[in-house]
Structure 1
Amino acid sequence: MEFALLSILVLVVGASVVASKFSDDGGNPYPFTRKHSVFTQVESAFLTLLERAVGDQYKIISRVKLIDVIDCKQGLSAKSKRAAMAKAKHKQLDYVLVDKEKMTVVAAVDLVNNSNKDGHKAQRDWFVSGALESAGIPHIRMKVKAGYRPNEVRNAIMFKLGKPAVAQPTQPVRSRVQKPAVLSASQAKAHTTALAEI
């Protein structure tokens, strides 16, 4: 009888240990659930805008680790290389533009939200900017705001890449609609640089 009670007690303790391994608070090795969306609303809207603006020319890859697009220069000591890579290891770029034919990195694009200190890289990360500049990769910081048009974003990106802006298609003007003011070359340049931070 004592042996039966002892056996039952051992089974109960064993079962509770096994059950605790699979409970959420008991150290489940896979305590995950599916996210409802891969992107925030802002990230999703800007990805769509980027695709419309430059998707015909570039592949757009999102959430890219900095170390996936840069490497250390030749001739560095092992200690210097480890230190540099340790700094870069946890840095992430919002979007990377890749040449469709050559599959080479053309530019990095980060969203900037100056009005909200949470989220989209409100403060410039000088390490990321310096690393990209050293590697010869343009770093385009686009301000988060509503109302961007694809041609504005495209022209801002082309300006940062040193390429000519794309001419906007002209539309017939109705007699009731006031004709938009024509911008001088310096005004157009100022408008384009206002979209992308330098």
Structure 2
Amino acid sequence: MEQAMQELTNTAVTFAIYGALFMAALTILRIIFYRSSLGKLLGSVNRRRRDRRRRKAEDASQPPKVPVVNPEAKREKSDRNYSEELMDQGDAYIARTHLMTPTERDVFKVLEKAYGDKYHIFCQVRVVDIIQPNASKYYAKSREYMSLFRQLSQWHFDYVLCHREGFKVFCALELDDPSHERPDRMKRDRIINRVCKEAGLRLERMVVDHRSQEVRLVDKAES
């Protein structure tokens, strides 16, 4: 019995020793593997660094390369915009048949008869063609200047009267038809009134009497 116990003990000790040796060998193999991988990695990094330094030295010894740019191709690319792409599809624009609406033409005839002997009468004149932001207060192209400019750039006066001698602006005329009762037009009229007052431009408003088919000035311009 004692001999069997002794053999069992010896066997257990042997397995323990072999197990310890196996774990030690596995640890050594892991160390060798990591060191080998790390060494390769470091070697690769060092080689890349040497290659970069060598290429920089070669580039420094050679004259710089100047890229060849075709100015015509560059200009053609920068000049084209989305509108031109739409034009390529065809039928992007159509021409208006008349410059003025029938009512505006009738009013023009009345104005021409009443003031044509003393004033030139122009229609659909851009507001910014006769009123501009104050360049002495705001630098041109500044944020303030462009904000004031854009506020007026899409608006037109219905008519503008200019003296025949020298084409000096006498006044601007606005035809207050029913469209001016819309909220957006009321806002536009409020701004236009204030702009003309600040700029010192005389602004007169007209209404059409549909019963008598006559045009009446709200504040008739006096010559």
Cα distance, 1:128–1:26 mapped onto 2, change above 3 Å: closer
1:130 Cα deviation from its structure 2 partner? 1.2
How far is the alpha carbon of 1:27 from its aligned partner?
Answer: 5.5
Residue 70 of structure 1 pairs with residue 134 of structure 2 = no
The alignment of Structure 1 onto Structure 2 pairs a total of residues equal to 132
TM-score (norm: length of structure 2): 0.51
Please list, as runs of the form range in 1=range in 2, the aligned pairs for 1:38-57 lying within 5 A after superposition.
38-57=99-118
CA-to-partner distance for each residue in 1:17-75, whole Å, 9 max, x for gaps? xxxxxxxx995344334433221110000001100010111100000110000122212
Does 2:203 correspond to 1:139? yes
Higher RCO (Cα < 8 Å, 6 or more apart): 1
Pairwise CA RMSD: 2.9
CA distance 1:105–1:122, shift in 2 (3 Å): same
Please identify which structure carries the higher helix content.
Answer: 2
* Equivalence for 1:103: 167
Partner residue, 2:154:
90
Structure-1-length-normalised TM-score: 0.57
Q: Secondary structure at the match of 2:209?
A: coil
Q: Is the 8 A contact 2:128 2:149 kept in 1?
A: yes
Q: Secondary structure at the match of 1:144?
A: strand
Task: Report the CA distance between 1:129 and its aligned residue.
Answer: 1.2
Judging changes above 3 Å, is the alpha-carbon distance between structure 1 residues 71 and 28 closer, same or farther for their aligned structure 2 residues? Answer: same
- Per the TM alignment, residue 79 of structure 1 is displaced from its structure 2 partner at its CA by 2.0
Contact 1:112–1:122 (8 Å) recurs in 2: no
CA distance in structure 1 between the partners assigned to 2:180 and 2:208 by the alignment: 10
Per-residue CA distance 1:53-107 (angstroms, 9 max, x = gap):
1011110000011000012221224221111001111111100001110211111
Q: Map Cα deviations across residues 91-134 of structure 1 (whole Å, 9 max, x no partner).
A: 1110000111021111110100248847xx57761111111111
Structure 1, unaligned runs of 5 or more: 1-24, 164-198
Can you give the 5+ residue segments of structure 2 that lack an aligned partner in the other structure?
1-85
Q: Distance in 2 between matches of 1:26 and 1:134?
A: 41
Distance change >3 Å, CA 84–CA 37, structure 1 → 2: same
Match of 2:26 in 1: none
Judge conservation of contact 2:208–2:214 (CA < 8 Å) in 1.
no
**Cα deviation 1:125-147 (Å, max 9, x = unaligned):** 11111111111111111012233
Tell me if structure 1 keeps the 8 A contact 2:123–2:157: yes
